Every structure is written in structure tokens, then in C-alpha cells.
Amino acid sequence: MLKQRMSRRQFVTRAASTVAAFYIVPRHVLGGPGYTAPSEVLTRAVIGTGGMGMGHVAVNEKGRPPVTLAVCDVDRNHLNNALEKAGPSCKGYHDFRRVLERKDIDTVHIATPPHWHALIAIAAAQAGKDILGEKPCTRTIGEGRVLADTIRHYGRIYQVNTHSRFRNCYHYGASKMLRKLVASGLLGTPLTVRVGCGQGFGWKVKEWSGRHNLAPQAVPGVLDYDMWLGPAPMKPYHPHRVHTSFRGYWDYDGGGLSDMGQHYLDPVQYFLNKDHTSPVEIEADAPWPPHPDAVGLWGTLRMKYDDGTTLILESGEWGPPIERGLPYIEGPHGKVYDNYRTDPPGLFDKLSSLPDPEPLLDFPTAVRTRRPAGGNADAAHRSCTLVNLMNIAIRTGRKLHYDPVAERFIGDEQANRLVHQPMRAPWHL
């Protein structure tokens, strides 16, 4: 009896039937309505899992592709809490460099103290990862320039996690309308923008001030203090220097100004259309002399761009009383108050015929489309520069003149030393 030849189609059909008899493919692998295929999941690692970091740890749900593949922290308690939240398929790490070696991680969420932000983001970009970073994006102006250049060089997506500019919420809608209003010329020029307690912006100046003369204490066994410090100078351990209250020390952050500044000022840069530049004059009203280690109080900060546009920040926590009821934005021909009413009334109604600004992409959309995110590295660097300029004015105690192209102060080497600050070996940019 002659053997009958089997066609390729017959072979594939029978083989598939045989495999199906032994293996049922889970529905989530195939994707479709109500299911996400693994190829569509943006996997993440979260580096820094303290207070803010835990908000980035996504729960790996049973029956669905895992999202959080790695968490990393130098505090064992923080790390264990993150592992417990993430659930199965998530691995814990002590050293962020081991995280970046993994090829199955698409995005890195950075929620460490700010003195680590630049180094980890730069290393992540070099490792081919896209980055969502907590604010402020960097601790110094020099770090911000290197970060923005590195993101561009490696073709990565970066987003700073601030409010208002790019999120699909009421505040983002307001920022779009303010951008249209400024561009329309209805307010006239130059503009004055006030971002202070009188307009409803709280600066947490006293809350995040540092303490003086801290008595050294023993480092807890759960904390690798040397790795927590990383590029920061070695100083004796005290619990107030780490975990949340680190914001009160120049080595790691810049007080309430750095905590809230990029949230408040990033949309200002956007609606003023100044993502490409920085102020040229900066001055601060603050107690003198400042403490060399602990961040202190300030009252009023002023910055002026080369076109005369002025930003005024008022904390209300030091200095003379603040006048209430002043407008958020004011020009020669009109004003906008903090609840978005205008004087003269109806200014926003005159914008309906003008085109909307180009939509700003959120982080996941930017990653999938490979188009810049709304809070991309270049824009984030410029809005973070505002914060760092003002902190340098507080620390030097004089009016400063800044070159936004060279990103250096003019004729002030003491201020320029705060643009590029040394890192503790072996860490470097």
C-alpha cells in the first residue's frame, strides 16, 4: 500500500490540533476586547519606593500580564512594602544598576530624592529605557542640561511628573486657554505672573526647612546610608536628613521651593511659551546669611525675562504681609485672577476663533508613538531651572544676571559654582 503524502497545510492543521489538546492559550495572551496582550503592556521598574514611589508601583493583577517587573530601594522596609504591593512577577533590587540590565523593562519610574534624579535618568536612557521622573527633574542646572542632552542623544522618552501642563484635567485645560490668551495679545506686554499665597499657591517653606546642629545617630540596620547618599557629601546620619524631610537640606533638595516649584511653574513656562529660554534677572528676599547645610525661609522671589515678563513668588511665611487679591496674570490691557475670571470680563470668550495649541502627549502615548511627551526633558529642564535659579539667588543673597543660552551667570563665579556642583566619588555625570 502506497503511503499518502501530507500537504504542508494538513501538517500545520494537525500539529495545531495536537498542541491544543495539551495546551490551552490563556485569553489575555491573545488580546482583544477587555484584554491586554503582553506585547501592549508597558513594563516598568520603580526606583525609590518611599512615599511618592509607592504611587508608581502598579499592582500585578492575577490573570493579566504583569506591569511592575522590578522595584528598587536602599531601605529594606520600603523595598518589602513595594514588593508586597506589586505582587507576583516583581523582583526587588538594592542597586538600580542591576535593574537597568534587564531587557524586559520598558520604562523606569524614578522617585528617589532629587540628588539621584539625574544620574539614574541618564543611566536609564543609556540602557535604552524611557523615563518618568518625579519633580524636581534635577537638583542643579548643570545636571538638567546633561540630562536633556542625553535624552535627545539616545532618542528616549522622558516625562517629569508635574501637575497641570500635560495631564488631561481641568488645570491642563486652563493652561491651554492661558497659552491662547497670552498668544492673542489681548493682555498686552510685558506680563507679570504672580505665583504666591495670595493666588492660592502654598510653598511649604517652614514645613521643609532644615534643622541646624543635628546630633549624629546610628544608621538603622534596614538602610544602606552610603548608597542613599550616593553623589551627595558624606555627613553623619540623622533621620531628619532622609525619608521625606531630606527636602530641608541643600545636599539633596531645595526646600518647599523645590518640592512645589516645578508643579507651579511648569505650566507658567508653557503658557508664556518660554520652554526654550530662562529669566535673565533673579533676586530674592530672604534671611541673610543662609545656612550652608539647612534650607531656610524666604519671602519674595522675582525673575525677569529679556522681554520684560516678570514672575513674582510670595511665600507669606517670612517678611512683610502679602497683599491679597492681586491677579495671577497681569498685562497693560487685562488681568486674569486665580479662579480664571478676567478683567475686562469675557477675555476667554474672544479666543474661540483661534487655533488650540498642539495637544500635549501623556507618558504612555509618547512612549508608544515615539513623540515627545508634554513634560519632555528639554521643557522640564527649563522649568526646573526656574527653581534652581531662585535657590541660587537665596544662597548668594544678591541680584543675579543670567545668560539663558550659555546657562551661566554673568560675572558671578560663586553663583556659577552652584550651577555645576561636584559629586562624591565614584559618582559623576
**Interatomic CA distance for residues 137 and 206, integer angstroms:** 22
In a domain, residue 409? The reply is yes
Does residue 287 register a pLDDT over 60? yes
Does residue 57 register a pLDDT over 50? yes
pLDDT the model gives residue 174: 85
pLDDT the model gives residue 37: 56
Cα 39-45-49 angle, rounded to 5 deg: 150
pLDDT the model gives residue 25: 37
In a domain, residue 316? The reply is yes
The answer for residues whose C-beta is within 8 angstroms of residue 67's C-beta and 6 or more apart is 41, 42, 43, 44, 58, 59, 60
**Interatomic CA distance for residues 328 and 306, integer angstroms:** 20
pLDDT digits (tens, 9 = 90+) for 384-423: 999 999 999 999 999 999 999 999 999 999 999 999 999 9
pLDDT the model gives residue 265: 96
Instruction: Using the 3D structure, point to which of 117, 136, 160 is the last residue of a domain.
Output: 160
If you average pLDDT over residues 217-230, what whole number do you get?
Answer: 98
In a domain, residue 215? The reply is yes
In a domain, residue 12? The reply is no
Among the listed residues 127, 68, 66, the one whose alpha carbon sits nearest the alpha carbon of residue 96 = 127
Cell numbers found for residue 239: 533621620
Helix and strand element counts for the chain (H, E): 12, 15
Does residue 2 register a pLDDT over 60? no
pLDDT digits (tens, 9 = 90+) for 227-240: 999 999 999 999 99
- Do residues 112 and 174 both lie within one domain? no
Could you tell me the pLDDT band of residue 166, with boundaries at 50, 70 and 90? Answer: low
Residue 230 belongs to domain spanning: 170-417
**Interatomic CA distance for residues 85 and 60, integer angstroms:** 8
**Is the CB of residue 302 less than 8 Å from the CB of residue 312?**
yes
If you average pLDDT over residues 1-30, what whole number do you get?
Answer: 38
Cell numbers found for residue 419: 550651577
Does residue 30 register a pLDDT over 90? no
- Do residues 150 and 253 both lie within one domain? no
Instruction: Using the 3D structure, point to which of 141, 160, 179 is the last residue of a domain.
Output: 160
Does residue 276 register a pLDDT over 50? yes
pLDDT the model gives residue 48: 98
Does residue 352 register a pLDDT over 50? yes
- Do residues 110 and 185 both lie within one domain? no
Domain total for the chain? Answer: 2
pLDDT the model gives residue 13: 40
* Domain at 413, CATH number: 3.30.360.10
Mean pLDDT, the chain, whole residue set: 91
Least confident of 179-193, 350-364, 391-405: 350-364
pTM over 0.85: yes
- Do residues 122 and 82 both lie within one domain? yes
Could you tell me the pLDDT band of residue 117, with boundaries at 50, 70 and 90? Answer: very high
